[in-house]
């Protein structure tokens, strides 16, 4: 039987075109000892389908502010609606959004309200990590003390057989020493709804993974509630009903050679985040964390659960 850590090890998706350390996130010192920490392989993709090798002026939306940015997006949307098949695509998008919303509504109201607190706590925990990576070492050291050989024993939760044991913890501790602070992420209503929808899908299908209904990818789900531009990524965490434990687990990233989960958490390029949680038949709870460089929301506030 595969351990929980093994089953979660691949649950991160980073859709960017980056160099070894990717994400625009924490950059290590020029020390060969850290050469294995980077992201070795990532998919080359951008929210607007632009060529990642093109000049920066062609990558997604030009730098703009306020009304200028909105005017640019509106003009782009109008142009897209004139393209062949645009109405059919919009109809499919509306149907997918309605299906996703209906799936979320199948969760009992009391359950949704209880998970809302965990979602808010995860956003706060991510931003605390980004504010002071080195300050997170105390919590990670305490987490590492729960290892008994390669078995992680967290009181109140099932024991987990890890692939690397404390080696992965020590690797994360070393990274936090040099990781620079990153700007706080703004909670996005659209990304929140996209994450909630996928969490509900994982609950409904008793699965763990990035593929959604009819093979929908993270980018497809994000675009149901707004428009993602530039770099984006998705992490999935499970088992722990505690925000700090979930973030610590993603930071350790046991068994994941690229340590992509931790770089997603600390990526300086990302500006917005959405978190959605749902019960999970096999793993108690599952939380989906969606990141984006630029995201234009269709709603101005996060929906109360």
Most distant CA pair in the chain, distance = 61
Residues 235 and 264: beta-carbon distance below 8 Å:
yes
Whether the CA torsion 144, 148, 151, 155 is positive or negative: it is negative
DSSP-H helix ranges across 106-230: 109-131, 137-144, 166-178, 189-205, 218-222
∠ CA 146-147-148 to the nearest 5 degrees? 120
Element (H, E) at 95: helix 86-105
Return the pLDDT at 129: 98
Return the pLDDT at 112: 86
Per-residue model confidence as pLDDT tens for the chain (305 residues): 334 444 444 454 544 322 222 333 333 333 333 322 232 222 222 233 333 333 332 233 333 344 555 566 666 666 666 665 656 666 666 767 777 777 788 888 888 888 999 999 999 999 999 999 999 999 999 999 999 999 999 999 999 999 999 999 999 999 999 999 999 999 999 999 999 999 999 999 999 888 887 788 999 999 999 999 999 999 999 999 999 999 999 999 999 999 999 999 999 999 999 999 999 999 999 999 999 999 999 876 777 76
Q: Give the number of other CB atoms < 10 A from CB of residue 265.
A: 29
Beta strands 12-15 and 226-238, pairing class? antiparallel
Whether the CA torsion 241, 245, 248, 254 is positive or negative: it is negative
What is the value of pTM for the model shown? 0.72
DSSP, res 290: E
């Amino acid at each position: 039987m595969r351990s929980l850590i093994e089953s979660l090890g691949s649950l991160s998706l980073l859709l960017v075109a980056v160099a070894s350390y990717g994400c625009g996130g924490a950059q290590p010192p020029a020390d060969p000892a850290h050469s294995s920490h980077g992201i070795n392989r990532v998919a080359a993709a951008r929210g607007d389908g632009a060529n990642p090798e093109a000049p920066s002026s062609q990558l997604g939306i030009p730098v703009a502010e306020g009304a200028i940015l909105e005017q640019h997006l509106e003009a782009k949307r109008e142009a897209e609606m004139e393209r062949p098949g645009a109405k059919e695509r919009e109809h499919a998008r509306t149907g997918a959004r309605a299906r996703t919303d209906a799936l979320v509504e199948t969760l009992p109201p009391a359950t949704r309200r209880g998970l809302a607190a965990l979602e808010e706590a995860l956003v706060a925990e991510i931003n605390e990590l980004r504010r002071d990576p080195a300050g997170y070492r105390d919590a990670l050291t305490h987490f590492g003390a729960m290892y008994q050989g390669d078995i992680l024993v967290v009181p109140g939760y099932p024991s987990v057989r890890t692939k690397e044991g404390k080696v992965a913890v020590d690797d994360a501790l070393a990274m936090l020493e040099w990781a620079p602070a990153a700007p706080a992420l703004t909670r996005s209503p659209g990304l929140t709804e996209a994450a909630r929808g996928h969490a509900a899908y994982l609950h409904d299908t008793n699965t763990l993974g990035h593929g959604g209904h009819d093979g929908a990818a993270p980018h497809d789900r994000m675009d149901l509630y707004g428009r993602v531009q530039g770099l984006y990524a998705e992490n999935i965490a499970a088992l722990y009903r505690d925000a700090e434990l979930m973030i610590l687990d993603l930071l350790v990233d046991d068994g994941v050679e690229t340590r992509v989960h931790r770089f997603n958490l600390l990526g300086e390029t990302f500006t917005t985040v959405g978190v959605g949680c749902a019960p999970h038949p096999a793993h108690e709870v599952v939380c989906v964390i969606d990141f984006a460089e630029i995201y234009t929301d269709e709603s101005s506030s996060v929906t109360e659960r």
